[in-house]
Amino acid sequence: MLHPAPSYDTLCESFSWDIPKWYNMGVDVCDKWAEIDPDRIAIIDLTGDARIDVSFEVLKYLSDSLAQHLQEKGIGVGDRVGVFRTQSVWTAAAHIAIWKLGAISVPLFTLFRAEALLSRLNDAGAKAVCVDESSLQIITPFLDQLPAMEHVICPETTAFDQVSSGFEPYDTLADDPAILIYTSGTTGAPKGALLAHRTLLGHLPGVEMSHDFLPQKGDCLWTPADWAWIGGLLDVLMPGLHHGIPVVAARMKKFSATGCQEIIEKGGVRNVFFPPTALKMLKEEGVHIAGLRTVASGGEPLGRELVGWGKTALGLTINEFYGQTECNMVVSSCAKLFTSRNGCAGRIVPGHDVAVIDKNGLPTGCEGDIAVRRGSPVMMLEYWQNPTATRDKFRGNWLVMGDRGIMEDGFIRFVGREDDVITSAGYRIGPSAIENCLLGHEAVAAVAVVGKPDPKRTEIVKAYVKLSDGFTPGDALVKELQSHVKGALAAHEYPREVAFVDDLPMTVTGKIIRKELKARASAEAGAE
C-alpha cells in the first residue's frame, strides 16, 4: 500500500513489494473483512429500484454457497469457469467463489454474442459458466457448440443444496493462475492473458496512485466500465474490496451524464474510473458533476483538452494511468504528488521497472517501444496455450506493450500503437496528439486519425470526424480544422484529408477501431 509522501522520489524510495508465498484473491477481498469487520459495506447495489447495502459477511455467505455448489458439480483446481454477467453482487461473488476453489474465472462481456463467446469459451475449455437470466437466454441456443461445457449456473435461481458454513477455501500460491481474460489487441484472434492471484497486489500501487492515495475516509468507488474488463474488475472492484471500500454496482442501459450523476448521488460515490470515451461523452453533453474526490482514466490518451475540461466540469484534476491487460497500471499521474506534463500518461508507478527501449532491448532517450521488465507482480503468466505469442511478447527481459513512446525526465509520452503510427514524408506521426488537438475545436465531437497510403509521401494523415450538433460539413470547415492543427502542432502533422462521418467504429470498451478506418482509407487510396 502506498502512503502519502512529500515527493515522487520519496514515494519510490519508501516502497517495496510484500507478496506472500501463499495468497488467494477470493479470501483477501472477502473473507478477510468478513472476519474482522463483518458488517462493513462491501457492495452498494443500485441494480434494482432501491439501494441495497451488502456487507462482507453476506458476500462471504454468497461466495461460499456458490463455491460449494461448484465443488459439488466437480469444479476444482485449474478448471476454467466463465462469468457471463454484468455488474451485480452475484457477479462479484462468482469470481470470488471460483478463486476460492483454486479455479480460474473467465470474464465475459454481456454484449458478446455467439462468435465472441464460442471463441473464448472453447479456447479456454470452460467446464461451467455463471450467468444471469438475460445472459442465459443469449448462451442457451449454442450450448451444443461448447463440448467442454458441463454446467450453466444462474445463482439467482439456483437452489443451493447445503449451507456453506463448512466450506474451506483452497490454499493457492500467489503465482497460481486465477483469471483468464481475453484481449483482442490490434490483429489476430483474441488471446487469453492468464493472470495469477498476485496480479491484484500488483495492481494496488497504480490504483492507489491514480486516486490520490486511496483509501481515504469516505471513499466509495464506481465505474461505468463493465466488470468483465480489466478496468472494471481489477482497477475498481477488487482493489476496492481489498481495501474495504464500498464499490457501487449499477447498470446503465445507455450511458448518459444524468445517469452518472444519479448513480454518484445515490451511491455516495467519491472515486470514479471513467474511460476516456465516457469523459468525451460527458464533455459533449456539457455536464458538471459535483461531489467527487478523484477521477482516474486510462485506455487511451486523454490530451490537454479533456484534462482542462475536467478541472472545470468535475472540479478536480483527472489522473491518467497506463497499462494493458497483460501488464496493467504501471504508469500513472497523481495530482496530489506532482503536476503532469501535457501529452504524458504520467510517471512510473513504484515497484515497476518501465522503460522505452530500442529494437535491441536497450533503454533509449528517443522514440521507442514502451516495455516493462520481467518480475512485476502485475504481469501475466502467459498467453493461454499460445507459447509462440507469449515468446513474441518479450524482448529479452522486457515485456513489450505494443505502444510507441518517449521517456521525458521520468514521464512517459505516448506516441501511439506501433501499428497506428503514421509514416509520412519521412516523419513518424502519432495519431493521438492530432486527435486531441482536433477535439479542442468546438466543431469536433469525436475523431479518429489514421494513415492513408500515398505514392508520394508513403502515407498522409487522414481524419475521420464526427461533428458536434449545430455544425455542417463543408470545405470551409475542413480548412478551418486543418489550420487548427497546423497552428497548434506542426505543419507536417495536419490532416491532408478530412472525412465527416455519422459515427466512428468502436470496440465494446469504447476504444476506436482504427484498423477498420485504416482499411477504409486503403480502399479509398486503391480506388483513386
- The Cα-based distances of 182 to 82, 107, 186, 383 in angstroms read 12, 8, 13, 9
Asked if omega into 276 is within 30° of 0 (cis), the reply is no
* Residue whose C-alpha is closest to residue 102's, from 190, 172, 12, 161: 172
Q: 232: number of CA atoms within 13 Å, CB side?
A: 23
What residue has cell string 447495502?
53
Beta-carbon contacts of residue 71 (< 8 Å; ≥ 6 apart): 101, 167
Cα–Cα distance measured from residue 368 to residue 485, given in angstroms and rounded to the nearest whole number: 24
Q: Are 337 and 5 in contact (CB under 8 A)?
A: yes
Cell numbers that stand for 310 in this block: 475536467
The amino acid occupying position 389 is A
Instruction: Tell me how far CA of residue 263 lies from CA of 56, 219, 419, in angstroms.
Output: 21, 15, 38
The label of the residue with cell 487510396 reads 525
Task: Provide the pairing of β-strand 344-348 with 382-383.
Answer: unpaired
Q: Residue 94 and residue 18: Cα distance in Å, rounded?
A: 27
Question: Which are the contacts of 172, defined by CB distance < 8 A and separation ≥ 6?
Answer: 22, 23, 24, 99, 102, 178, 197
Task: Give the type of residue at 331.
Answer: V
Write the burial class of residue 159 (CB in 10 Å: 0-12 exposed, 13-18 middle, 19+ buried). exposed
Dihedral Cα 195, 199, 202, 204, nearest 10 deg: 130
pLDDT given for residue 409 in this prediction: 92
Residue 94 identity:
A
Determine contact, residues 422/450, Cβ cutoff 8 Å: yes
- Dist CA 489 CA 507 (whole Å): 28
Query: Which CATH number is 20-197 given?
Result: 3.40.50.12780
Please, what's the largest Cα pairwise distance for the chain?
73
Taken as a whole, the chain contains a residue count of: 528
Query: What values do phi and psi take at 59, rounded to 5?
Result: -60, -40
Q: Which three cell numbers stand for residue 215?
A: 483509501
- Matching fold, domains 20-197 and 420-527: no
Residue 114, SS3 per DSSP: helix
288: burial class by Cβ within 10 Å (0-12, 13-18, 19+)? exposed
**Residue 186: per-residue pLDDT:** 40
Q: How far, in Å, are 60, 80, 156 from residue 159 at the CA level?
A: 17, 22, 9
Amino acid at the residue 444: V
Residue with cell 468478513: 34
Domain boundaries, the chain: 20-197, 420-527
CATH architecture of 420-527: 2-Layer Sandwich (3.30)
Look up cell 476444482; give the residue.
76
Contact 450, 495 (CB under 8 A): no
Q: Is 114 left (phi over 0), alpha (psi -120 to 50) or beta?
A: alpha
Q: Which residue, 344, 362, 371, 272, is CA-closest to 314?
A: 272
Residue 56 · residue 42 · CB < 8 Å: yes
Which pLDDT score is estimated for 187?
A: 43
Instruction: Check residue 140 and give its pLDDT.
Output: 96
Angle at 510 between CA 483 and CA 400, to 5 degrees: 85
The one-letter amino acid at 83: V
* Cβ–Cβ under 8 Å, residues 236 and 95: no
Q: Would you write out the chain's pLDDT as a tens digit for each of its 528 residues? A: 898 899 999 999 999 999 999 999 999 999 999 999 999 999 999 999 999 999 999 999 999 999 999 999 999 999 999 999 999 999 999 999 999 999 999 999 888 888 889 989 999 999 999 999 999 999 999 999 999 999 999 999 998 876 656 789 999 999 999 999 998 644 456 899 999 999 999 999 999 999 999 999 999 999 999 999 999 999 999 999 999 999 999 988 888 889 999 999 999 999 999 988 789 889 888 888 889 999 999 977 787 888 999 999 999 999 999 999 999 999 999 999 999 888 788 999 999 999 999 999 999 999 999 999 999 999 999 999 999 999 999 999 999 998 889 999 999 998 877 777 787 876 668 787 788 889 989 999 999 999 999 877 788 999 999 999 999 999 999 999 999 988 877 777 899 999 999 999 887 667 788 888 989 999 998 887
State the residue for C-alpha cell 495519431.
431
329 three-class SS: strand
